[in-house]
Amino acid sequence: MKNLILLFIFSLITMISKSNVLVVEGKFQNKNIYIQNAFGSNGVGFCTTEIKVNGKITTDEINSSAFEIDLASMNIKTGQKVTIEIIHKNDCVPVVLNPEVLKPRPTYEVVSMNINSSGILKWTSKNESGPLPYIIEQFKWNKWVIVGEVQGIGTSENHDYSFQVLTHSGENKFRVKQTGLGVAAKYSNSVALNSMTDKPTFMFSKNKKAIQYSFETSFEVYDAFGTIVKKGFGNETNIENLPKGKYYLCFDNQVSEFDKK
């Protein structure tokens, strides 16, 4: 009898040890999950043995080479956290074909956006489907340049955001964007502010080792191949360590060329 009990306990431990769980987490974006389901190594039965969503066993048909986890039928709200547990045999692993559908996407809508004379950019957004960051961009040097980031809250209600920007002389344009996994970025409309500050000028230091500005400004230096080699904010750019050649200097809202000799 004792041996039978020990054998039963050993069998139970063996069965438990063969049980593995593949976990997929994210937020519901109104898309279902698709699973590629392999056979067990002995060719009998399929790999997946059970599916749990947020701790509840689902009624999905899992005895096939591919199946769908029907999240839409489970009364899960858009943006709600989802934890999927795919319990499978020890000798195989099912494949989640589209895990990206649980990642946030840029669905926000801008209710209002403005910038004041102090350079504070404010906007109100709604219908966010996940906590994606807002990337703040400024148009200068003939392109949109990233100047900051604010973390989005990620729910459907109205949310207010603000960011202190640095302005250059003349017209300043700003916008925000969000990007999600595998999808194109979503941009807001731009807002503009006209600055009355003077344009800075630049000159080379006497020893030709630095570019000096008449007052502090943002700057970037590119080589002839378009690779950025210097970036910063201040009243001077050290160019001592740059190889000889042609460069492009971007500062304030201006673009100039210079030769390092």
Looking at residue 140, what is its pLDDT? Answer: 95
**Does 227 have pLDDT greater than 80?**
yes
Contact 215, 172 (CB under 8 A): no
- Domain annotation covers residue 65: yes
| Size of the chain in residues | 261
Same domain, 240 and 183: no
Position 218 in a domain = yes
- The domain total for the chain is 3
The percent of residues in the chain predicted with pLDDT above 90, rounded, is 69
Q: Which residues contact 166 (CB under 8 A, 6 or more apart)?
A: 119, 147, 218, 233
Predicted pLDDT of residue 19: 54
Residue 162 lies in a domain: yes
Cα→Cα distances 233→12, 51, 219, 251, Å: 67, 54, 6, 9
Q: Report the relative pairing of strands 210-223 and 245-251 from DSSP bridges.
A: antiparallel
* 97 and 114 assigned to the same domain: no
Query: Residue for token digits 């960051």?
Result: 133
Structural domain including 209 reads 202-260
pLDDT digits (tens, 9 = 90+) for 133-172: 999 999 999 999 999 999 999 888 999 999 999 999 999 9
Q: Rounded to an integer, what distance in angstroms lies between the CA atom of residue 180 and that of residue 130?
A: 10
CATH value at residue 177 = 2.70.50.50
Contact of 183 with 209, CB cutoff 8 Å? no
- Rounded to an integer, what distance in angstroms lies between the CA atom of residue 241 and that of residue 220? 15
The two tokens of residue 73 are 């039928």
Q: How many Å apart are CA 92 and CA 20, to the nearest integer?
A: 9
* Rg of the chain (C-alpha set): 29
Q: Tell me, what's the pLDDT at 197?
A: 87
How is 80-100 classified by DSSP, letter by letter? -EEEEEEEE-TT---EES-GG
Q: What is the mean pLDDT of residues 28-47?
A: 84
pLDDT in tens, 235-257: 999 999 999 999 999 999 999 99
Indicate whether 229 belongs to any domain.
yes
Instruction: For residues 249 and 215, state if they share a domain.
Output: yes
Q: 183 and 209 in one domain?
A: no
pLDDT at residue 104 greater than cutoff 50: yes
Q: Which of the listed residues 140, 160, 195 is the one where a domain comes to its end?
A: 195
Q: How confident is the model at residue 73 (pLDDT cuts 50, 70, 90)?
A: confident
**C-alpha span between 237 and 224 (Å, rounded):** 18
Is 139 found in the same domain as 75? no
Q: Could you give the CA distance from residue 223 to residue 226 in angstroms, rounded to a whole number?
A: 5
Element (H, E) at 54: none
Point out which residues pair with 178 in neighbouring strands. 186
Mark which of 140, 175, 195 sits at the end of a domain: 195
Distance, first Cα to last Cα, the chain: 94
Q: Which backbone phi and psi does 126 adopt, to 5 degrees?
A: -140, 175
SS3 state of residue 34: strand
Could you tell me what percentage of the chain is helix, strand and coil, using 3-state DSSP and rounding each to the nearest 5? 10, 50, 40
Decide if 3 is inside a domain: no
Residues 145 and 221 in one domain: no
